[in-house]
Amino acid sequence: MTIRLPGAGGALRAYEPRTEPFAPAPGTPFTSRTVFSAAHVVADPFADVSPDSPAAVDWDATLAFRRHLWAHGLGVAEAMDTAQRGMGLDWAGAAELIRRSAAEARAVGGRIACGVGTDQLTGGSLAEIRAAYEEQLAVVEEAGAQAILMASRALAATAKGPEDYLEVYGHLLRQAAGPVILHWLGPMFDPALDGYWGSADLDAATDTFLEVIAAHPDKVDGVKISLLDAQREIDLRRRLPRGVRCYTGDDFNYPELIAGDEQGFSHALLGIFDPLGPLAAEAVRVLDTGDVKAFRGLLDPTVELSRHLFQAPTRFYKTGVVFLAWLAGHQTHFTMVGGLQSARSLPHLARAYELADGLGLFPDSRLAEERMRNLLSLYGVNQ
């Protein structure tokens, strides 16, 4: 049975849903790459909240989704951009998420790393920014999780130049209990981070970033690069000290970056692996066998979906991620903290459904089609 989907111009087109899902079974742990999926949060649809209210989270559904990712061998990158940090999820909610997810990870043997930022601040001095980072770092370390030092809006607004970044990050790395992941999130994901590392010139910013790492290589497990620029990531990757991993955060070019070249490869910490979880895990297991061509054969076709979800304004990709989780049956509703379900248009969501269905991402294609039809009817699209 066909379903009529709206295009960007408003015209309806017929689409024939796929009937057989791509459904790989959970397999052995990965051996060639370390792979994290940044995971979304599931809102409580019955909470009486407004867009300005603290986030109301459905903890059971949120943790169930993390168990889904762990079951397929993926690590979970918790309380990151994908979980709507700074876009609906405040620090109090993030701290609770970190504690609950870390406890769940221990219970099931899952790998977890958690975001450490300064989102309890809107501004402040360098001393206040350091203290905010320290508060969050303590929460993550007390929970038993690995820390991911995220980019700070407050630091971007306060820092006078590269020396302030060197001072703040050097202070944090000296006191971190174990090796952390440093996260460079580009302004396409968060415009408030423009000029991070003390310069809008990316070459100069890269030099400062590498200076931070070179001063404390024993405290840096790896770096997550989210600049959507494959060559820049490759160039930076080749300059990292021995033993420091590069985790790609490039949701446009991840297959080639994970596959790598004769001089190295990237591991992964990706928001797109939230909807791609089982397929991505299967692709990495194929790569573990050394079959790069088959790996690319599985993962390359997913790039069109990823580029669609992450199209400008990129920061609203979370809407598509949660939408696909609803269609896939991981949650019972399409509601987001902060009301962010309204951030993408109906044609955008319809195309996301079509691309995801074509990849076989929905375990129950009939359920996905029924939910898509229900959404369309709310917008006045009669079938």
pLDDT score of 45 more than 80: yes
pLDDT exceeding 70 applies to what percent of the chain?
Answer: 100
Per-residue pLDDT band at 9 (split at 50, 70, 90): confident
Read off the pLDDT of residues 316-372 as tens digits, 9 standing for 90 and up. 999 999 999 999 999 999 999 999 999 999 999 999 999 999 999 999 999 999 999
Between CA 246 and CA 233 the distance in angstroms is 8
pLDDT score of 379 more than 80: yes
Q: What are phi and psi of 229, to 5 degrees?
A: -140, 100
What is the per-residue pLDDT for 153?
96
Q: What are phi and psi of 368, to 5 degrees?
A: -60, -45
What does the DSSP assignment read for 235-273?
Answer: HHHTTSPTT-EEEE--TTTHHHHHH-BTTB--EEEESTH
Question: What is the chain's mean pLDDT, rounded?
Answer: 96
Per-residue pLDDT band at 10 (split at 50, 70, 90): confident
313: preceding bond cis by omega (within 30 degrees)? yes
Amino acid identity, position 2: T
Tell me the pTM. 0.96
pLDDT score of 260 more than 90: yes
pLDDT score of 383 more than 80: no
Q: Give, rounded to a whole angstrom, the gap between the first and last alpha carbons of the chain.
A: 11
pLDDT score of 26 more than 90: no
Per-residue pLDDT band at 314 (split at 50, 70, 90): very high
pLDDT score of 302 more than 90: yes
Alpha-carbon Rg for the chain in angstroms: 20
What is the per-residue pLDDT for 130?
97
pLDDT score of 8 more than 80: no
Read off the pLDDT of residues 326-337 as tens digits, 9 standing for 90 and up. 999 999 999 999
What is the per-residue pLDDT for 23?
86
Taken in order 35, 135, 189, 194, is the CA torsion positive or negative?
A: negative
Residue position matching structure tokens 């024939």: 16
Between CA 78 and CA 145 the distance in angstroms is 9
